[in-house]
């Protein structure tokens, strides 16, 4: 399992910081951006740009909540900018909250974007699956059909279904009912 990001790791700005940032947030931020731009490759580029800009600036954060708010707002803003610059794209109506509101710290210091944290935790749970199950789940979240997943991984559709079934059983033990519902929706 990957190391969890701590404020101490974040303040070091070294290779461990980069690895931990990537392992902890990359996939969740890509899923978040994809809700807006509707394209995985574009979402990956946006997240990579945000992470690169963050690395260059080496911004000092007081706590992880402040960091998470910054990251999700930066990805949201770049995603919206991409949509605005490509007039043929429509802002996602599947998740209007993702595109319409900024994230803030509440007076208690907590973030107000729990759904995005749910994505991050869900992705971390998927990352803990065995290799083939993880690959199947990640491709399914990208919107691939069983036949496309089978072709991409050079396995049969029945094997894809088996990996999905076993992976869901494993994830049910690790994730809350809300997270499982979200995962089921994402994989539909």
Domains and their CATH numbers in the chain: 7-101 (1.10.1740), 129-183 (1.10.10)
Residue 55 is predicted with a pLDDT of 82
Beta-bridge partners for 111: 105
Segment holding 120, helix H or strand E? helix 114-127
Average pLDDT along the chain: 77
Q: Give 112-136 pLDDT, tens digit per residue.
A: 445 566 677 777 788 889 999 989 9
Low pLDDT (below 70) residues in the chain: 1-5, 87-118, 178, 181-182, 185-188
* CA-based torsion, 61, 15, 121, 8: positive or negative: negative
Residue 178 is predicted with a pLDDT of 66
Residue 64 is predicted with a pLDDT of 75
Residue 154 is predicted with a pLDDT of 94
pTM as predicted: 0.54
Q: What is the largest CA-CA distance in the chain?
A: 52
Residue 11 is predicted with a pLDDT of 74
Residue 26 is predicted with a pLDDT of 87
Tokens 């749910």, located at residue: 118
């Amino acid at each position: 399992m990957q190391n969890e990001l701590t404020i101490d790791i974040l303040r070091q700005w070294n290779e461990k910081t980069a690895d931990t940032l990537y392992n902890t947030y990359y996939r969740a931020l890509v899923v978040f951006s994809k809700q807006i731009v509707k394209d995985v490759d574009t979402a990956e580029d946006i997240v990579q740009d945000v992470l690169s800009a963050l690395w260059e600036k080496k911004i000092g954060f007081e706590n992880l909540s402040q960091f998470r708010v910054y990251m999700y707002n930066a990805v949201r803003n770049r995603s919206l900018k991409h949509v605005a610059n490509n007039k043929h794209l429509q802002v996602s109506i599947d998740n209007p909250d993702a595109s319409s509101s900024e994230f803030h710290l509440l007076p208690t210091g907590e973030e107000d974007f729990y759904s995005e944290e749910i994505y991050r935790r869900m992705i971390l749970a998927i990352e803990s699956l065995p290799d083939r199950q993880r690959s199947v789940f990640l491709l399914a979240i990208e919107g691939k059909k069983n036949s496309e997943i089978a072709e991409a991984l050079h396995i049969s559709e029945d094997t894809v279904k088996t990996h999905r079934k076993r992976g869901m059983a494993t994830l049910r033990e690790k994730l809350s009912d809300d997270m499982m519902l979200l995962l089921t929706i994402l994989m539909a």
